[in-house]
Every structure is written in C-alpha cells, then in structure tokens.
Structure 1
Amino acid sequence: MKKKLAIAAAVAATFASASYAQSSVTLYGIVDAGFTYTTNVNNNAKYALTSGNVQTSRWGLRGVEDLGGGLKTIFTLESGFNVANGQQNGGLFNRQSYVGLTQDQYGTVTLGRQFDSMVDYIAPLTAVGTWGGTYMAHVIDNDNLNATFSLNNSIKYTSPNFAGFQFGGMYAFSNQSGFAINRAYSAGMSYANQGLRLAAAYMQINGVDSTGTGSVQGSSLASTFGAMASGNRQRTWGAGANYTYGPMVGGVVFTQSRLNGKFIDSVRYNNVEANFRYNLTPALGLGAMYAYTNANGAGIDSGTGSSSAHWNQFGLQADYALSKRTDVYLEGVGVWGAGQNAAGITQVGFQGNSDNANLPSNNFSSSKNQGIVTTGIRHRF
C-alpha cells in the first residue's frame, strides 16, 4: 500500500510540475526620464525633468498558459506612469488590460482594453511608433499613432502570419443601452517581404468622449475642440511603407483624421511623414523625420466659420546603447505653423501619453510655433 501511495504521489507531482512548466508570467517595463527644454509655453521657456521622452515609462505583467494542441491562454496588464513624480493618470492598467486565446493556425482573440489598428499597423512605420518616440507625434497626435488613448470594452482578432501578410480588426462596445453611443471599431493589415513592409488601417469612434464608461475617453483630436466635440464622430485612416537595407531603414506614411457630427460639420487633419534611421555602429543610431500637417474646418457652430492651418515638423535624434537594456539619447524637434486660429485648429504642443501623467495642457504652445530639446536615459527590463 505504501509503495502504491508513493507511486501515486510521484505521478501527481510530475503532472503538477509539467502543468506549472507550461504556464509563465513575465514582469516587463520601460523607465525613461531626462531633461527637457521647451519653447513658447505660456510665453516663456520651460525647463523640466520629464518622463517618457522617447517611450512612455511603463510596467506590466504578461502571461501565457499552454492548453495543448497549439492553443494558449494569454493576458497582458500594462500601466504607464511618470518617473519624475511616481504618479499615473487614469486607472491602474491604463495602457492595456486584456485576456484571450491564441492558436498558431487560427490567430488570436483578446478581450479588454487594447490599442486600435492605427497603433498596431501604421505606428510601426513612423518615427513616433519606433525610434523617435513621444515628441515626434503628429500635431496633437490627431491620428493616435502615439497611443494617446486605448479602446475600452473591446474584442480584437489578429490573424496568423500568412507568408508575410497579416490582418486584424476590433470592436469596442459602448456598454450603454443606446448601443451606438461611444462605440468604436478598427481594422488593419500589413505585408512584409524581406526588407519591404506595407500597411493600412482604419478606425472610427461614434460619440467621442460622450460617456464615462464608453469605448473612448481622451481622444486628442476631440479634446482640442472641447465641449463642441462631445458626441461627434471621429474617423482616422492611414497607409504607409518602409524599407530596411542593412543598417538603414526609411519610410513614408499618410494619415487622415476627421471629426464631424452635431456640433462640428467637418474638421480634417492630413498628415504626411518621411523618416530615416541609420545605425553608424551597433551601439550608435541616428534618426531624422519630417512631417507636414494640413488642417481644415468648416461649419463650426461657434461662429468661427471655415478655417485652415498647416504645420512643418522636423525631428533629429542620436541614440547610444550602453548595453542591451540601457541607452542614452539626445533629441530635438521643432514645429512651425501658419494659418488662421479658429476653434483650436492651430493649437500645437509636444505632449506625452495621457497615461504617464504628462498631460497635453502642460505643453501647448503660446504661439503657432514650438521647439523642444530633450536628453535622457532609458532602461528596459
């Protein structure tokens, strides 16, 4: 009897060990802080110790459990924060919080708070979504390529990789009795072949910022127009390409964001970007970007009538890796604007993501132009 019990205990321990080995939880994150000089903030220069200059400072938990037959459970919980004061803006897991299933042959389905398809497919072709980071976002991050907001109450599907081609889509529920109030949906696709990468994506938000529990709270485009934007519809789409050749990578991207509805007949931002990065050595990388943004507005109820404006944006960066996890950087970005100043269309400002508590209102320019120089250190864990 004792022998049988010992064998049973050994078998149980073996299965328990195997089960444990098939599950894992990883703690990860980025800590990014530095010194930043900004012009034209309340008619003065601003000197500050800032967080998330290149990438939003964050920490997260990522887990996976192997269910067998290629099927796995996955989850991610991710929180952005401000290194300078230790605070965060919004909920605990303000960047991402989702759980789902993934299977190599059929793709991945996840549910929770997640990034939209513009962030997933277009941002990786831009400076803001790769090496350039926060301050190289297009004016007021109107196309959300800097992930200023995530979509709540969402279900997302991401396909397997079919010989370089991948696609995905998501739907974010309003969680309201009216169903369509503050809901959102998004879709995108990409293709990669050797050094070439192509992508296109679309996002639509119905009832921007109109409820406290809906799919979106905090769209940068809607926030620029304040109360007039409440309940309106935002549509954003984009397409782009980049090419990698040895130590060089360059890309071009076009995006358009529109805001229209009950209070705003039509506000449209068009963004065109070209970016280039070259690794002089395995440790030292140099990057440059240029973006042109044109904005037009019409039929605004406030009586401002039609208006238009445009901006030229230039950015340069030098980044040096001290190790695989730690690097230091020096970056300068300038924005020069022109045009009428109606209904906030010409409002510009270098901003961090809302989830790291570096709010856009901290840095909006007191004129149509603004420049910024930042240097700092970034550590990944």
Structure 2
Amino acid sequence: MNKSIFTIAACSVFSIYVSKASAQSGVTIYGIVDVGYINIKTNGTTIIPDEATNTVVFGNSAQQTSRLGFKGTEDLGGGVFAFFTLETDMQPANGFLSHWQDRQSFLGLGATSLGQFAIGTQNTPIYNQLAATDVGHTNNTPGSAVYPIYSKGGTRANGTFDDNAGVGGVSIALTTRTHSTLSFKTADVSGFTLAGIAIIRSDTLSAQSKTEPVPIKNSTSGWGISGQYIQEKFYLGVAYQALKSQNLGYGCAQPGACPSTAFTPDPKVWAWAEGGVNTQDNQYYAGATYDFGYFKTYLQFVNRKVTNLLDASYTLSRSAQQIGLRGFFTSNIESWANIGNGQYTTYGINSPSSKINAWQIGANYYLSKRTNLYAIYGIDKGGATSIYSATSVSSFASGVRVQF
C-alpha cells in the first residue's frame, strides 16, 4: 500500500515537471514536399545563343523548395528565450533525396521587449523582405523579373529541375543566404521593425615551408540592413546589403618551391551562401503590399551591381520592377498574376545591356490548410544586344505540395 502511494506521488511529481518543461521549451519538425510535372523550354542563352532545349520531367520543388527542418525555442525566464533552426533541402523526385545542403542553420537568443540575435547560416535582409512582398511567394518557376531562378552549376537557363535541383534560392537578382552570419532583429515598435546582418569569414596562410600551391587568403565579409512598416492592411519593406569576397589566390609560402608563384581565381558574383570570388556585390530591394480583402496588390523593385575588386571596370548590373495581384476566388481557390521588366548588363568590361521582360500566372486549389494542387505558367525574355541573341525561357508546372 505504501509502495503504491509512493509510486503515485512520484509519478505525479514527474508529470508536473514534464508539463512545466514542455511549457518552457519545444522542438518542432517541419517541412515541405513538392512534386509534379514540369516542362521548360529555352530558346537561346547568353552562353550558347543558338541553343534550344525542351525539358520534360516529373520533378520537384516547382512551387516551393522541398525541405526538412527542425526548430525550437526555450523560455529562459524574464522574457528571455533561446531559439534554433536546422534546415536542409529535400529532392524527392531525383537520384538523391538530399545533399544535406545548409538552407538555414542558426542559434540565437532574444528578449521579448528588445529583439533577438542569431549566428549561423541565415537568410539575407533582402530575401526576407522579398519573401514578405513577393506576389509569387518566391516560387521556383520562371516568370519573375525580380526573382529569376536558375540551376546550381548550370550555364543554361533551364530552371531548378535537374538532378542538382530542388534547393531554390539561387538567383541572378540577389543573394538569398550567407554563411558565418550574425543577425539581429528589433522588437516591433508602433509597426516598425529593424533587422540586419554582419558577415565575417577569413582564412589566411601563415608563412611556412610549402612545396605545393596553397590558398594564400580567402575572406568574405559584408553587412546588410532592412526595415519594415506594417499598418493594418499595408506593408512596406526596404533592404540593402553589401557583400565582399576577396580571394588572393594560390601560391607558395616558400619562394621557388612551386613551379608557379601564384595565380588569381576568376571573379564570381555572390550566388551561394559561401560567397563569391573577388567581387564587391551591392544589392537593394523595396517592396510593398496592400490587402483589399478579396485580393492583395504587390509592387517590387530590385537592383544589383557587382564590381571586380581587381578591375573596377569589370562589372555586372541588373535592375527590375514588378507588379502583381493575388487573391481567392473561392474559399479554396487562389490565383495570382505578375508582370515585370528591367535591364541587365552581363559581367564584363563595357558589356552591352539588354531589356528584361517576365510574366507569370498561377493557381492553387487547397484540399486542406496544408495540402494544395497547383498550376504555374511563366515566361522570361531577354532582348538581343550587339553581342548576344534574344533569349526566352518558358515553363509550365503542375503538381501537389504538402506542408507538415
């Protein structure tokens, strides 16, 4: 009898402790699975002007990048909390389910009345504002002037649907994520919120005897800031980021130990989270939305200029603007449409500029709050120049997306 009473009391104490701990902290497993039919056609590229392709595939991530993530928070008391996110892309229709690419991975601390900071791989200020004000909800289908998407490692404008695809977030218009990043975000004050990042990552070779070429110095640095204002149905977001990649190449710490003393790698824009090569990459974005109830209007602008650190006359520039509408026809049928234009100057010295035109239409049919069918059609066009032929990319995608 005493043992039974003791057991019941112990279980009660344990239950209270577990209940209290659960209230203070929690971990959530979340993700997206997006698969369907995809058809992409290209006519001409800046790499091969006369090339035409037609890709047809049962692929993934046309509407949203398939992913798996873990996030959690812990209440530390007094309005202070800790939080983390670990997230990787998933490729359910390809040869490998995932390459465990670091979409977002960070750990941070916050205070309810002040704001928060975090360190890790994180979205940039521009991408966060884009995600909040993009009519297409940053889908991975061609047809956006402000967020064109291309495959990793590919020179053709054939979307994000080959075997290396599914990551999303790689765009010639802007940098979406950065490694080695410290971020901050203030608490909301009368509808205003301020956020920013700082990036520090540097590897320098110390002088020592070497007989093979080794990296001399590689460094990435930068900063970014954004602000947003929300008043009932109106949202305004602006952001700027300046990203620098300096790579002094390879050589020998011991003179004469190598056949070649040094060489400098070719410049590249900051496309992936790890950085670019020998470039200063400046970008800014502005976006606004207004919700009329039956539909929401969108206005977007993005600008980017990349300069070679070793030759300031070697540049790339791109600017574009876009308007759009998005709304529900019925309680479970949603649609959107956008149209945009701009100007693009290819990377080089005194390169000619070409006009950009893009438009997209799409629709969702919600089977539930977390599951929907979708259909998206979009076109990207680049005008001809004295060097390059006109280019065109069109795509149709239809599939199903499940969020969990």
Q: TM-score, normalised by structure 1?
A: 0.80
Equivalent position of 1:251 in the other structure: 298
Equivalent position of 1:135 in the other structure: 142
* Alpha-carbon distance change, 161 to 180 in structure 1, aligned in 2, over 3 angstroms: farther
- The correspondence for 2:316, drawn from 247, 254, 267, is 267
Amino acid at match of 1:316: I
Counterpart check, 1:119 vs 2:127? yes
- The correspondence for 1:202, drawn from 232, 240, 246, is 240
- The correspondence for 1:108, drawn from 111, 116, 124, is 116
Equivalent position of 1:58 in the other structure: 67
Equivalent position of 2:174 in the other structure: 144
**Gaps (5+ residues) in structure 2?**
44-50, 150-170, 206-216, 250-266
Structure 1 position 27, deviation (Å)? 0.5
Equivalent position of 2:161 in the other structure: none
The alignment partner of 2:188 has SS state of: coil
Instruction: Could you list the structure 1 runs, at least 4 aligned residues long, displaced by more than 6 angstroms after superposition.
Output: 2-10, 208-211
Say which structure is richer in helix: 1
The alignment partner of 1:306 has SS state of: coil
8 Å CA contact 1:208, 1:234 repeated in 2? no
Stretch of structure 1 that moved more, 158-167 or 172-181? 172-181
Equivalent position of 2:283 in the other structure: 236
Percent identical among aligned pairs is: 24
Stretch of structure 1 that moved more, 320-329 or 288-297? 288-297
Equivalent position of 1:295 in the other structure: 344
8 Å CA contact 2:59, 2:94 repeated in 1? no
Equivalent position of 1:83 in the other structure: 92
8 Å CA contact 1:278, 1:286 repeated in 2? yes
* Alpha-carbon distance change, 222 to 271 in structure 1, aligned in 2, over 3 angstroms: same
Aligned residue pair count: 339
Amino acid at match of 2:172: N
Distance in 1 of aligned mates of 2:242 and 2:109: 25
- The correspondence for 2:364, drawn from 302, 307, 319, is 319
Amino acid at match of 1:273: Q
Q: TM-score, normalised by structure 2?
A: 0.75
Equivalent position of 1:277 in the other structure: 326
Deviations 1:78-132 (A, max 9, x none): 1112121263665x351000011121101011111100000112332113435x5
Counterpart check, 1:39 vs 2:41? yes
Distance in 2 of aligned mates of 1:128 and 1:151: 23
Counterpart check, 1:377 vs 2:400? yes
Amino acid at match of 2:92: V
**Gaps (5+ residues) in structure 1?**
212-218, 347-365
Structure 1 position 338, deviation (Å)? 0.7
* Alpha-carbon distance change, 208 to 237 in structure 1, aligned in 2, over 3 angstroms: farther
* Alpha-carbon distance change, 169 to 44 in structure 1, aligned in 2, over 3 angstroms: closer
Counterpart check, 1:72 vs 2:99? no
8 Å CA contact 2:268, 2:277 repeated in 1? no
* Alpha-carbon distance change, 311 to 208 in structure 1, aligned in 2, over 3 angstroms: farther
The alignment partner of 2:203 has SS state of: coil
8 Å CA contact 1:242, 1:252 repeated in 2? yes
Amino acid at match of 2:36: G
